[in-house]
Amino acid sequence: MKNRNCIIRLSRYKTALYRLKALGFVKVFSDNLAEAIGVMPSQVRKDFSLFGISGKKRGGYHIDALIERLNEILGKDKVHTVIIVGCGHIGSALMKYRKFEDGGIKIAAGFDIDPAKHAQDADIPVFPIDRVKPFIKEHNVELAIIAVPDIAAQQVADMLISAGIKGILNFAPIRLRCPEGSIAHNINLELELENLIYFVNVLKKKRVNPDETENA
């Protein structure tokens, strides 16, 4: 099944491939990729076969061809424009996060309700929130990061979706509800720490099966 975890593994294979390539490798075997991301080799072959990727039994996969195919599947063969709504601590940090740019993700602008945060001439400008709808339409933006307080998040999401946003990465600690045709993924930092605390407590009490505590 092409579910979230499978797609996350594809991203991880891709990262591993770039590292192998940087080390001068030309070919790779499913065992190498499996070891690099911590799964069984059969999982790698299963994931690849879902997308019609096949290697040669003895020759393995060509790294360049595999990277190209994974980028195509993941939609990384073109640059994606993203806006950030809410330029507090987390939002501002994400605006400056260099790894996004390296990964073909362009943060086009930030939007905030607070005039003190506006910076219309900055490299990545920050505009008043009432500019967000025309901006989305004018630049055909489909992706947004929400980093506003939880109480405002659903309202902001509704507004963004009505203007054309299709995918939201949400840092507000609430679970957004999206109409059909749009999607939100949630990153809840407090919940992540809470989860870690639970598994540290389990570790302290007894040895656990590490598979149970692995991050997806």
Per-residue tokens: 97: 């996060």
Q: Name which of 130 and 211 has its Cβ closer to a copy of itself.
A: 211
Binders of a copy of itself in range 39-68 (CB under 8 A): none
Q: What is the closest distance, in whole angstroms, from the C-beta atom of residue 123 to a copy of itself in the complex?
A: 14
**Terminal alpha carbon distance of the chain:** 15
Please say which residue, 59 or 209, places its beta carbon nearer to a copy of itself. Answer: 209
In angstroms, what is the minimal distance from the CB of 28 to a copy of itself? 17
Q: What is the rounded CA–CA span in Å between residue 29 and residue 193?
A: 35
Near a copy of itself by CB under 8 A: residue from 2, 106, 137, 139: 2
Helices first, then strands: H and E counts in the chain: 10, 8
How many residues bind a copy of itself, per CB under 8 A? Answer: 72
Q: Any contact of residue 140 with a copy of itself (CB under 8 A)? A: no
Quick one: which of 82, 109, 146, 160 contacts a copy of itself (CB under 8 A)?
82
Place of tokens 């003190």: 116
Residue 139 binds a copy of itself (CB under 8 A) = no
The residue from 29, 105, 113, 131 that contacts a copy of itself (CB under 8 A) is: 105
Nearest distance from residue 14's CB to a copy of itself, in Å? 8
Q: Judged by CB under 8 A, does residue 99 bind a copy of itself?
A: yes
- Residue 146 phi, psi (nearest 5): -105, 125
Asked if 151 interacts with a copy of itself (CB under 8 A), we say: no
CA atoms within a 13 Å half-sphere pointing along the CA-CB vector of 134:
5
Q: Based on the shown chain and the rule CB under 8 A, indicate whether residue 216 belongs to the binding site for a copy of itself.
A: yes
Asked if 17 contacts 68 with a C-beta cutoff of 8 angstroms, the reply is no
d(CA 66, CA 181): 30
Residue with tokens 């991203």: 11
